[in-house]
Structure 1
């Protein structure tokens, strides 16, 4: 593994160009082509970007999508079907409403609809559905690919101190409707849950890249909530 190109923590530098960030239409089309679909839907692509650009999203937005795809390329953890992992990343926060608890389900269903219309077989569709659903983070990953996807989604916990601080503030903005005392209590429970794990990252590659920094970031954040 090479050193991170930004020199500021473990996240690669993020630009403001969709093509440079790897979320241009060509990148989207390559993922579908790897799955045997030559004519990737531009309409779906543009609709996805509109969803990630919704104004109520402070963290679960295009920045998060870009970072996930960049981190996947940087860490390059071994997986069985890399194109499936990448396509699931495109969709894992496609639907996001902090007032609802079924965002992953609705995102998985959207991906399944698109996958069906694109001609993907039932087994591939089932794996894609499960990949999105595992980002609920309510159970252990069942496959190597699910582990890579979960670790990618959680890579933000091991970002540089500055980026983690920004992320922490972004989450608060998404839940600004929650009274501060309640938010602090619930947020502490979430962060302590991650810190209490034997290891935050399942895969060796992500563990080596992010575990130490993630634990330091979580400990600082929890201390601020005291």
Structure 2
């Protein structure tokens, strides 16, 4: 996936194929539930999504083993994504529960999926599969620098409504939270990304601390 976070050629078809195979593996008829897939595809192409979109789903599905609870968690964990709200995870978990009940999924599966989604609120879990999912979700932090910078820019675009000074302050708080952890990644599968992730986060933190062009302009006019 190239910086810009767009689906590669054939990506949409691949996603639909993965969804259909997932339902078939559980004895469900994909054709009978096309409206649910259509809703998820529409949600992940909303205009406010510059990073949390279909390309993100495609990446996660490529990073994780093909287990039903992990795959459903991929599809639903950002299904509700409104950057102006603070309850996206809870709303996404609720949508997942409602949707999986309509599919006729087993209660134990639904519980696993909703627990994974709710864990994305703080990206910590003692459950191995949930920890694996959370690490995959944070894999972008350990991307090569050019891709990481594109990710940081995409997040800024998703929060374009936030004034620059306030965004920098809040974004820095998020980055500091991750840097203050003993380990960003909880599983061996993603441990190799730890050094690069820390370097990327530190570089962004330093960039956020630099005076903005607006600040320079205001200072010069005084």
**Length-normalised TM-score, structure 2:** 0.85
> Does 1:34 find its partner at 2:33?
no
Match of 1:191 in 2: 175
Match of 2:98 in 1: 113
Q: Deviations over 1:167-189 (max 9, x none)?
A: 10011111111111111111111
- Asked if structure 1 preserves the Cα contact closer than 8 Å seen for 2:7 and 2:54, the reply is no
- Asked if structure 2 preserves the Cα contact closer than 8 Å seen for 1:35 and 1:84, the reply is no
Within-5 A mapping of 1:1-226: 15-19=8-12, 22-23=14-15, 25-39=16-30, 41-72=33-64, 76=65, 82-137=67-122, 140-208=124-192, 210-226=193-209
Q: Distance in 1 between matches of 2:150 and 2:9?
A: 17
Q: Deviations over 1:25-72 (max 9, x none)?
A: 221011223334243622111111111100111111122222222222
SS at match of 1:95: coil
Structure 2: 5+ residue stretches without partners: 210-222
Q: Distance in 2 between matches of 1:178 and 1:44?
A: 32
RMSD across aligned positions (CA): 2.1
Q: Distance in 2 between matches of 1:187 and 1:152?
A: 20
Q: Distance in 2 between matches of 1:51 and 1:97?
A: 11
Q: Which aligned segments of 4 or more residues in structure 1 are displaced greater than 4 angstroms?
A: none
More helix by share: 2
Structure 1: 5+ residue stretches without partners: 1-5
- Asked if structure 2 preserves the Cα contact closer than 8 Å seen for 1:14 and 1:67, the reply is no
**Length-normalised TM-score, structure 1:** 0.84
